[in-house]
Each structure stands twice: as C-alpha cells, then as structure tokens.
Amino acid sequence: MDLRQLKYFVQIAESGNFSRAAEVLRIAQPSLSQQMKNLEDELGVDLLLRHARGVTPTDMGQQFYDHARRILQEVERTREVVRSQSQNPSGKVSVGLPTSACRGLSLPLINAMAERQPNITLHLVEAMTGYLDDFIQMGRLDVALLYDHKAFEHVAWTEMMVEDLMLFAPPDHPVAGEGQIAFRDMFKLPIVLPGAPNVMRTVIEQFAARHDVVPHATACDSLPAIARMVGARRALAVMPHFAFGDEMERGEMVAIPIIDPTPSWRLSVVVSQRTMNPRGSEAVAKVLADVIAEMVSAGTWQAKLRGERARPDTLRAGAR
C-alpha cells in the first residue's frame, strides 16, 4: 500500500465512479481499476460496492476512506511545515458559495484573489446552503460561505453579518407599490421558497412558528427557476436583497421589506480543519471575508456587519 493508492481510493469514493475519478486523476481507467483491485487483494476485503450507477464504499471501505483522508491530510500538513514560511500560499482551494450569493460574489472574489493571492487556484462550488453544510462537514470543501451554519466539529468560522430577507415581486404587481409587507400578510400571496432542508426554509418556518403563521409556499431549489416564476407572475419570492441584484438593476423585480417580524439570518465564512491545504484555505477565507466586508461597506451588499468584523482574519474554532 502506498500514498498513491490512498489518493486514488479517496478520489474514487468522492467521485462515485471510476471514469470520473480517472479524469480527475489523469490516469487511464483500466490502470485505476487495477490499482484498486491490488489494494483490495492486499487488504483482503472489498472496499467498493460496484453497481450500475458507479461505486459506493462498503462499510469497511468507508472506514478506510476516513483513515485515508486523515493520512493524506497529515502528509500535506507535513509538507507545509517543511516548506519555507516565507513561501506564498499556493495550490488548489475549493470554495462553496450559496446560490443566493454566488452570482454577485463570484467575480469580485475571483478578481480579489487574482490580485492578492495569485498563486492559489480557486474551485468555486455553487449549491444551496444545506448541501454546502454537508460538503464542509465531510471535508469536500475547504472554505464555504454559510447561512446560519450548524455547530460542526472540525471547522473554524468568522461570523460576518446579519442579512434581512425580503419579498420580491414584478414591478407592476399590486404589492410592489407597498412600502413594506407584514410577515403574516405575505403568506396570503403565492410564495416560492427553497425546499427543506434549505436554511432559508428553516428560518422562515421558525419565524412562522413563533408567530402562529402557517407558511404555505411552493418549494423550488433553483434560483433561476425562482426568478422565472416571479417574472411570470406565478409566485413572489423570499430572498436576501443580494440574490436578485441583476434583476432589480434591469427593472424586472422590486424588493419589498418584510416587517412584524423581519426574518433575517447570519452569514459566516467557514474553514474546514480537514483541508489538505490549510495555509491556502486560511488565505482564501481572509480574502473572502475582506471582499464581503468591502461590498457591505460600499452598499453593494445590503446587510449589517458584525462588530467583530473589525478583524477579518479572526477565526473561531468549532467544537471538537
């Protein structure tokens, strides 16, 4: 058994099939399959369950995966310790951005990284917050921007800001002329929200439960589809102001403040302590936090910065 086989197995387990793993690893699929057969023969157990859709780890394979990831992480940490401390952070860092923030944040982040950390290669992943929660906990993301994130182990985080949720409607909709709308009255209209277990859905349902409101709403996990539903007057959307900045700029939507109460959520920059590139991940997290703070201060992103954002490099460790 060698480190190469561990790396191959981890990639196969995360990719879910040999062909995708072979593409990522840049190795011929037959060679990769043979390496895994040799590994299973050496260990005397089946590590992968092969089926029509690809492969999944067996129970023993899952245990082996957990150990293999830790070993690879420690090897990478050892390499970093040996490297000169004056060396700039480099390598690949995966960053998860929630769907409601990705469109407006991705380009400013890429531009800032090119200027401030040019040796780091970003891999941006867009997904609903619930999925990003899972990815960061499993170690499949190095850094993520999360709304009301769970109390995970093996993560460090900086709470960035509090963001209000708003009601979005076409500019010619009757409710668009209102300066605000009560939370209870909002659900007398056709509303679309992301489906459970999305954090926004959870936030709205918790607010509704505290105020004896039944939150009837269509479920949709696609931001473009939600935008089309609003444009077609099929539903009104509850989202943060930042989510539909382009549509508002084009005059396709208006944002209506929600009151009594105003639903809001917290936004945090989260770093996995299982990352294989800790210095690079911390550097990316700092740039991400700085970019967000700059956008909020400039009014591009409507939110309230937390007081501790006076030091954007402050990270708090999660429970262990």
For 226, counting Cβ atoms within 10 Å of its Cβ (0-12 exposed, 13-18 middle, 19+ buried), the class is: buried
Structural domains in the chain plus CATH codes: 3-82 (1.10.10.10), 91-162+266-317 (3.40.190.10), 163-264 (3.40.190.10)
Over residues 208-256, the pLDDT tens digits come to 999 888 888 999 989 999 999 999 999 999 999 999 999 999 999 999 9
- Is the omega angle on the peptide bond into residue 312 within 30 degrees of 0, that is, cis? no
**Residue 259 pLDDT:** 95
Structure token digits, residue 119: 């040796």
Does the predicted TM-score (pTM) go above 0.75? no
| Cβ pair 219, 228 in contact under 8 A | no
* Cα-to-chain-centroid distance, residue 194: 15
Model confidence over 108-144: pLDDT tens digits? 999 999 999 999 999 999 998 888 988 988 889 999 9
Q: What is the pLDDT of residues 247-265, one digit of tens each?
A: 999 999 999 999 999 999 9
Could you give the count of Cα atoms lying within 13 Å of 4 in the half-sphere of its Cβ?
8
Quote the pLDDT of residue 307.
57
Q: What share of the chain is helix, strand, coil (3-state, %, to 5)?
A: 45, 25, 30
Kindly state the percentage of the chain with pLDDT values over 90.
70
